[in-house]
Structure 1
Amino acid sequence: MSETRITLPQWEELAALPDEALPLLPTALLIARDEYPQLDPAAYDRVLQAHADHLRVEVEAIGEWPLKVAAINNHLFNEVGYSGDNDEYYDPRNSYLNEVFERRLGNPISLALVQIEVSRRLGLPLEGISFPGHFLVRLPVEDGVLIMDPFNGGRPLGVDELRERARSNLGGETPDDSVLAQILDPAPHRAILMRMLRNLHGVYAERGEWDRAARSADRILKLAPEQADAVRDRGLAYLQLEHLAGARTDLARYLKMEPDAADAITIRERLIELSGGRPRLH
């Protein structure tokens, strides 16, 4: 097995990093360390490297990129057994990479990250796609791009299925070629990591775990401080936790950032309640 080293970044340094310098795997493991403080990042880096080392001879002997990635997918999803968690899709463990490695279960974005990391270690420039509703991956090929679904074993997706999937998540509108091409643009690392955190925020807010919901929104702001939705989400979580000063600051900032937002009236009502010292908790 090849020697690998991994160092997790500091949250405070991430906002200043350009996207090309933002490390995908280390930052995803940094997200997981919030929930699992004893997490050993090197152990999971070694897991990924073992997958890549196991595949290296086979993949290097294959000429065409689509066949190379098919071999990678076969190993990860059929031999090792990574799969989408259909039974407990919204289990937060599906967003934490250490749990994904341990359980071999994940959601679309965490499985995509495993697939991307192994493929890149084998010389394939696999990229993520922030597809509406369901994260996908893409590989440049001679005649375009190969789109795959990591939640379903890396299965390739054709144009008609992609249009239908997009349509069901875009209010019934079927995207034309230009819109679909835009949807299929590669996702920057920052966008991938923020989507992971938004998934966690949504799960924890639904469960009423407001401390973790606040943490997830706060981590988004560590990556992108001007994300208005994350400012609002943190403020609303603070309100549920009765951290009134924090709630007041965040909700006022949100209204300053987005004065015409669809929920601006509701947020103003919350601020009025806070100014009167009578928060209404739900």
Structure 2
Amino acid sequence: MGDRMYLLDWNTLATLDDESLPLLQAALLIARDEYPDLDPAPYEALVQAHAEDVRAEVEATGPRPLKMAAVNRHLFFELGYAGNQEAFYDPRNNYLNQVLERRLGNPISLALVQMEVARRLGIPLDGVSFPGHFLVRLPVEGGLLVMDPFNGGRPVAVEELRERARPHLGGEIPDDHTLLQILSPAPPRAILARMLRNLHASYAESGQWDRAARSADRMLKLLPNQPQALRDRGLAYLHLDYLPGAREDLARYLQLAPLAPDADEIRERLIEASHGRAVLH
């Protein structure tokens, strides 16, 4: 089977519900935008090999936390997967082919590798869209084991989770109910959208507006009419002097989010686009 047949196209992907959405394939599809000759088969085989290398140990181990510890030891210590501390915002940290080749990534891409290996071993590991850094969670007897893939998969204690969440909750320490809500499993679409948001932010910061627009466009394939993605694509179009697209996206953003904190600023940008000129600061 040729690789073009192996990877779903974006339009097909957009029609799938979360339960049917293949996370690894979809992440490689994101990478193909930047690496058009990407053959997904070797990367699928590599993830499978990671699982097979540790399968005997996992199957011989009893409780889930110990099974997961074996997976983490293999990935983060024996194979050397690590968080890219020196270049956190490098776009390659979000492209799964690069993560698997370089064994360097950011929290969400490392979590994706961790989840895919664990699931091949029958370990029900889920991602968590935690504020700040993406985490993973494993149901265990008596509760949840929460781990940090950016730091070698180490367990994160409840009090540390509360402190990590606190700055994103107006300084309030979350109670048990709020914390459990934050720790809900992230659906595949949310994981892919977060990777695309990371890419958009990296490319916008470096002024690569064609790639920034592409990242926002892909997000809209997964989440049609997502206000922030419409805004981000519209502003990227403005930088690229594609004014019809900018007008359509920014007008739709204001329609969907009229009370957004940046609504006045976006209205100014829309006026500029409607007058046929892009004045950007």
TM-score by length of 2: 0.97
Q: Which residue of 1 aligns with 2:8?
A: 9
* Matches of 1:33 and 1:210, distance apart in 2: 18
User: Which residue number in structure 2 is paired with residue 188 of structure 1?
Assistant: 187
1:275 and 1:201 map into 2 onto residues whose CA distance is: 24
Aligned pair count reads: 277
Q: Does residue 102 of the first structure (1) align with residue 101 of the second (2)? A: yes
Three-state SS of the structure 1 residue aligned to 2:138 is strand
Equivalent residue number for residue 129 of structure 1: 128
Distance 1:100 1:159 in 2: 29
Percentage of identical aligned residues: 70
The RMSD of aligned alpha carbons is: 1.0
* Matched residue type, 1:178: H
Q: Which runs of 5+ in 2 are unaligned?
A: none
Residue 161 of structure 1 aligns to a residue in which SS?
helix
Conserved 8 A contact 2:162-2:179: yes
Q: Distance in 2 between matches of 1:129 and 1:89?
A: 19
2:216, 2:229 within 8 Å by CA — same for their partners in 1?
A: yes
Structure 2 Cα separation of the partners of residues 125 and 73 of structure 1: 14
Partner of 2:224: 225
Q: Does 1:76 align with 2:94?
A: no
Deviation at 1:31, TM superposition (A): 0.3
Q: Does 1:146 align with 2:151?
A: no
* Range with bigger deviation, 252-261 or 195-204: 252-261
The CA deviation at 1:264 is 1.4
Task: Tell me how far 1:104 sits from its aligned partner.
Answer: 0.7
Residue 169 of structure 1: CA displacement?
2.9
SS in 1 for 2:6: coil
CA shift digits 1:180-233 (9 cap, x unpaired) = 010001000100000000011111111111001000000000001120110110
Aligned partner of residue 169 in structure 1, secondary structure: helix
Q: Match for residue 271 of structure 2?
A: 272
Secondary structure at the aligned position of 1:186 is classed as: coil
Q: Match of 1:202, as an amino acid?
A: A
Q: Which runs of 4+ in 1 moved over 3 A?
A: none
Match of 1:67 in 2: 66
Counterpart for residue 38 of structure 1: 37
Moved more, 272-281 or 51-60: 272-281
Alpha-carbon separation, structure 1, partners of 2:112 and 2:276 = 45
**Aligned mates of 1:258, 1:129 — CA distance in 2:** 26
Shift of 1:168: 2.7
SS at match of 1:139: strand
Partner Cα distance (1:143, 1:236) in 2: 47
Q: How does 1:257-268 map to 2 (within 5 A)?
A: 257-268=256-267
Shift of 1:15: 2.4
Give 1:171 shift. 2.8
Alignment of 1:83-94 (within 5 A): 83-94=82-93
Residues 243 and 274, structure 2, Cα contact 8 Å, conserved in 1: no
Question: Which residue does 1:3 correspond to in 2?
Answer: none
Q: CA deviation at 1:142?
A: 1.0
State the SS of the aligned residue for 2:127: strand
Q: Does 1:248 align with 2:243?
A: no
Tell whether the 8 Å contact from 2:110 to 2:150 is kept in structure 1 after alignment: yes
TM-score, normalised to structure 1, is 0.96
